[in-house]
């Protein structure tokens, strides 16, 4: 295997190179949020090297012994980079000092492994031989556990951040198709799956000597990473707006409770419901809570509070309920039979078929095409 690459090696190296190229593209990409693009570019490069280099080392460690364990500290970058990328998209910039703190574990592990990196070629080859005969040293095993816990911690923090982001956008926006960051949740999930599979195989080796320590690069993360990186590239080429959209300046503001008296809340609620019926602002597909508050001359935090507390809804569901009700009325009106259901949805303020179908199903319990039959019954 040292002198002849197998097909998997070729696939993995091509996938890693593709990931590096895609990362460089985002690194120099001028559109959208420049800072977010740079973080995403670095993340893709680190991700590709982290999973591609171990395979190359396995096949060619005798030719390039100084590459042995070169990628070992890199997983300590994956979690922070993924977290900072999500942080940048959901809440803007993070203080430079705080940002640097995320990279202390990576620097610490790199410094700890420096004596190994400074060893001679013969010593490193002997290290590989000892691994294959007696297993990893205790300190390396401990580092593997810390590495996994470190990444899982960042994945959990990123999931929580994205969950909070979902709540925030529903409190402010009436259409969230381009800002819900669902694709980023897929990225987090994909990263977690690849790492979990890798960790399971490593556990098999560390405690039961079931597999070669590099089997993960061969059978688990190898194919998974190549497919994962190619998929990200496909998404970027097919839907470039996902990676460079106006979400860069969201900075969603929290609306804290203020001195809203019960009497004033009732007046605002009546004013809101009347305004919705008479002016139909929900037909604006880009309507936001601050915009509606400005039109009605109501403080945004008060408007948010009465929607949440008086109507027991968030802004997203509140507006989409009106849109769904308008479509329902038109479906029951014979004079609108010449319109398609989707045309009615767009007229009501929906900006995509998927958003309309999802909202209609949520508020009626049935699909738009089946709804007329349920009414006739």
User: What is the residue extent of each domain of the chain?
Assistant: 7-249, 262-376
pLDDT digits (tens, 9 = 90+) for 296-347: 999 888 998 899 989 999 999 999 999 999 999 998 888 888 899 999 999 9
CB 80 within 8 A of CB 154: yes
Instruction: Return the top range by mean pLDDT from 126-140, 185-199, 207-221, 226-240.
Output: 126-140
Q: What angle do CA 368, 371, 374 make, to 5 degrees?
A: 165
150 or 168: which leads in pLDDT: 150
Task: Give the separation between CA 124 and CA 131, rounded to whole angstroms.
Answer: 11
Question: Left if phi > 0, otherwise alpha if psi is -120 to 50, otherwise beta: which for 202?
Answer: alpha
Query: Considering the domain 262-376 in this protein, what is its CATH number?
Result: 1.10.10.60
d(C-alpha 245, C-alpha 301), whole Å: 27
Decide which of 1.10.3720.10, 2.60.120.260, 1.20.1070.10, 1.10.1240.10 is the CATH code for 7-249.
1.20.1070.10
Mean pLDDT of 268-282: 95
64 alpha carbon, distance to own chain's centre: 36
Instruction: Read off the pLDDT band of 258 (50, 70, 90).
Output: low
Instruction: List the one residue out of 323, 353, 358 whose CA is nearest residue 340.
Output: 353
Query: What is the average pLDDT value for the chain, to the nearest integer?
Result: 79
Q: For residue range 115-151, what is the model confidence (pLDDT) as tens digits?
A: 999 999 898 888 888 877 777 788 887 888 788 889 8
- Confirm if 12 and 52 have CB atoms less than 8 A apart: yes
Q: How far is Cα 213 from Cα 6, in angstroms, rounded to an integer?
A: 18
Q: Are 293 and 303 in contact (CB under 8 A)?
A: yes
| Residue 95 per-residue DSSP state | -
Comparing CA positions, the residue from 289, 294, 316 lying closest to residue 175 is: 316
Write down the pTM of the prediction: 0.75
- DSSP string computed for 234-293: HHHHH-GGGTSSGGGG--PPP----S--HHHHHHHHHHHHHHHHHH-GGGSTT-BHHHHH
% of residues, the chain, pLDDT over 90: 27
Helix (H), strand (E) at residue 189: helix 182-208
């Amino acid at each position: 295997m040292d002198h002849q690459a197998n097909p998997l090696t070729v696939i993995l190296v091509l996938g890693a190179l593709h990931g590096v190229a895609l990362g460089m593209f985002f690194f120099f990409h001028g559109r959208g949020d420049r800072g977010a693009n740079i973080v995403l570019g670095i993340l893709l490069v680190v991700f590709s090297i982290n999973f591609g280099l171990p395979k190359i080392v396995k096949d060619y460690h005798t030719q390039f012994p100084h590459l042995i364990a070169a990628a070992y500290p890199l997983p300590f970058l994956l979690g922070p980079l993924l977290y900072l990328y999500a942080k940048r998209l959901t809440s803007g910039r993070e203080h430079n000092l705080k940002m640097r703190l995320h990279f202390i574990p990576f620097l610490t592990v790199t410094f700890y492994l420096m004596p190994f990196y400074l060893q001679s070629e013969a010593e490193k080859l002997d290290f590989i031989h000892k691994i294959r005969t007696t297993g990893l040293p205790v300190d390396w095993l401990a580092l593997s556990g810390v590495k996994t816990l470190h990444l899982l911690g960042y994945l959990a923090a990123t999931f929580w951040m994205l969950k909070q982001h979902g709540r925030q956008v529903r409190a402010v926006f009436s259409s969230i198709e381009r800002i819900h960051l669902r694709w980023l949740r897929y990225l987090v999930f994909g990263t977690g799956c690849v790492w979990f599979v890798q960790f399971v195989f490593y556990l098999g080796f560390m405690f039961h000597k079931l597999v070669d320590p590099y089997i993960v690069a061969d059978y688990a993360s190898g194919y998974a990473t190549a497919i994962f990186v190619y998929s990200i590239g496909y998404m970027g080429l097919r839907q470039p707006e996902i990676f460079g959209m106006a979400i860069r300046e969201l900075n969603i503001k929290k609306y804290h409770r203020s001195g809203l008296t019960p009497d004033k809340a009732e007046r605002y609620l009546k004013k809101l419901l009347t305004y919705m019926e008479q002016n139909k602002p929900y037909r604006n597909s880009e309507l936001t809570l601050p915009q509606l508050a400005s039109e009605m001359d109501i403080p945004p935090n008060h408007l948010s509070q009465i929607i949440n507390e008086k109507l027991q809804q968030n802004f997203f569901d509140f507006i989409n309920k009106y849109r769904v009700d308008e479509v329902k009325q038109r479906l029951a009106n014979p004079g609108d039979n010449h319109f398609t259901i989707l045309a009615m949805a767009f007229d009501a303020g929906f900006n995509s078929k998927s958003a309309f179908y999802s909202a209609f199903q949520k508020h009626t319990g049935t699909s738009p095409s089946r709804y007329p039959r349920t009414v006739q019954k």
